[in-house]
Amino acid sequence: MNTILDGRTPLVLVAGMSETTTPTARALLRAGTVLVHHDLSHVREGVVRRTITTVAGNTVSERETILELAHGCVSCTLSQDLLPLLRRLHARSSVARIVVLLDPQLEPEALCWAIEHVVVAGVVGQLDGPAERDVRVDAVVTCIDAESWLSDALSDEALDDDRTLAQVVVGQVEFADALVVRGMADLDSWRHTRLRAVLARLAPRAPVVDAGGDIEKVLLAVPEDSRRGELADAHSPLLRFQPPLEEDSGVMLVEFTANRPFHPGRLHDAIDVLLDGVVCSRGRVWVATQPGEALWLESAGGGLRVASADTWLAAMTPEELEGVPVERRALAALKWDDRFGDRDTSMVVLVCDANPLEIDRTLQHALVTDEELADEKSWSTWDDPFGEFHEDPCDESQSPYAETESTREANE
């Protein structure tokens, strides 16, 4: 566990779609620990069941509350109940640690973002501000089932919101400080090796343990410099914590970089190469038709999205540049181009059976040619399927190079 003492209450998040998730969270119960869980299975109807569990001596006590939210959604649950609750629990002298058992479809990164950014107002005796004033994430523990996790991570199954199953299970592992795996010993040697290889590249610093082990020892094994809820942005390192770069049983991280932009039409045609045999991809993308926008591309399994991340430094006003972190400006200065400034592409693709050479060759083909690079004035005339927002697989009723008005309005 993190030994830094700053007056805040340590917070452990337990996530995952495994049957072992709830037992793992409950194994952390002891005197001074409070376990909080919001059941979001009926959140769309505006109803959430909240359970708070505590221990006194040998007695485990549960208090259940039915919450009715005016606008039933996950964001309402976080802002109206969970975040204020974290601040109130911090104020109790009897609470030494808080454990939050996340709903199976909730990604820990979303909660960590809310803890850092969402202002909580009206808590008696406390100044208005985000929950991070009072709590700090000590660890994110993700529980998975060895039998099904990799197939889920490679799937294109859609959930009942705008996400895919692969996006959720990959995100839960990628953000983890420790992984609890159920059924690893039951896998044959080949599947065991491949699953281990994928996990080592998604969460290279996270200890991997079998379900049912001593979870407190697992938390002690989390490295001090682990992520612990830290958020990243489009310009953060894509290979954090030095994951293995060599191939292992068909599993490999593929890096792709380029100092010239993509042609939007050819990039649109090329992105299917990131959807077959690929666990996930993510990175910063430069598209010729959008000289001011750094785009963020991310995929998981059979789903992919491209959206605006932020503005290139080269396209910022002097006033905007003043608000840019020194670290980003320093890194940009190291590779600054006299013509294009800090614009570039940097992506990482985690493959599992896909051909790394084919991925690189396909993405290289999608870049502008030397002739196109010399004719920069023509770029603005090209059709751009990434004009507002892009998600794959595409709606078959749409042209691949333009959004319909109805789609544009929905995305806005």
Given a contact cutoff of 8 angstroms between Cβ atoms, the answer to whether 255 and 348 are in contact is: yes
**pTM passes above 0.85:** yes
Q: Which residue, among 169, 245, 244, has the nearest Cα to 205 in the 3D structure? A: 244
pLDDT at 401 over 60: no
Pair 207, 259 in one domain: no
Domain boundary (178, 201, 220) is at 220
Q: Where are the alpha helices (DSSP H) in 205-309?
A: 215-220, 264-270
Q: What is the pLDDT of residue 57?
A: 87
**367 part of a folded domain:** yes
Region 250-271: what's the mean pLDDT? 97
CATH classification at residue 295:
3.30.1220.10
Q: Is the pLDDT of residue 106 over 60?
A: yes
Which sign, positive or negative, has the C-alpha torsion 180, 181, 182, 186? negative
Q: How many domains does the chain divide into? A: 2
pLDDT value at residue 410: 28
58 and 72 in contact (C-beta within 8 Å)?
no
CATH number at residue 72: 3.40.50.300
pLDDT band for position 92 (50/70/90)? very high
Q: With 70 as the cut, is the pLDDT of residue 400 above it? A: no
Query: Which tokens belong to 48?
Result: 């959430």
The answer to whether residue 272 sits within a structural domain is yes
- What token pair was written down for 323? 């608000």
**pLDDT beyond 60 at 32:** yes
Are 262 and 373 within 8 A, CB to CB? no
Are residues 258 and 210 located together in one domain of the fold? no
Q: Give the residue numbers spanning the domain of 342.
A: 251-411
Domain ends where: 220, 236, 264?
220
Question: Would residue 3 count as lying in a domain?
Answer: no
Same domain, 216 and 257: no
Give the model's confidence band at 53: pLDDT under 50 very low, under 70 low, under 90 confident, else very high.
Answer: very high
- 125 band by pLDDT with thresholds 50, 70 and 90: confident
Q: Provide the percentage of residues in the chain whose pLDDT is more than 70.
A: 92
Residues 162, 61 share a domain: yes
Task: Over range 85-102, report the average pLDDT.
Answer: 96
Asked if residue 272 has pLDDT above 50, the reply is yes
400 and 282 part of one domain: yes
Residue 53 covered by a domain: yes
Contact (Cβ atoms closer than 8 angstroms) between residue 274 and residue 358? no
335 and 342 in contact (C-beta within 8 Å)?
Answer: yes
Residue 394 has pLDDT above 80, yes or no: no
43 and 101 share one domain = yes
pLDDT digits (tens, 9 = 90+) for 180-192: 999 999 999 999 9
Mean pLDDT, rounded, for 45-58:
91
pLDDT digits (tens, 9 = 90+) for 183-233: 999 999 999 999 999 999 999 999 999 998 999 999 999 999 999 999 999
At residue 279, the pLDDT reads 97
**Where does the pLDDT of residue 77 fall: very low under 50, low under 70, confident under 90, or very high at 90 and above?**
confident
Q: Is residue 227 part of a domain?
A: no
What are the DSSP calls for 101-132, one per residue? E--TT--HHHHHHHHHHPEE---TTS-SEEGG
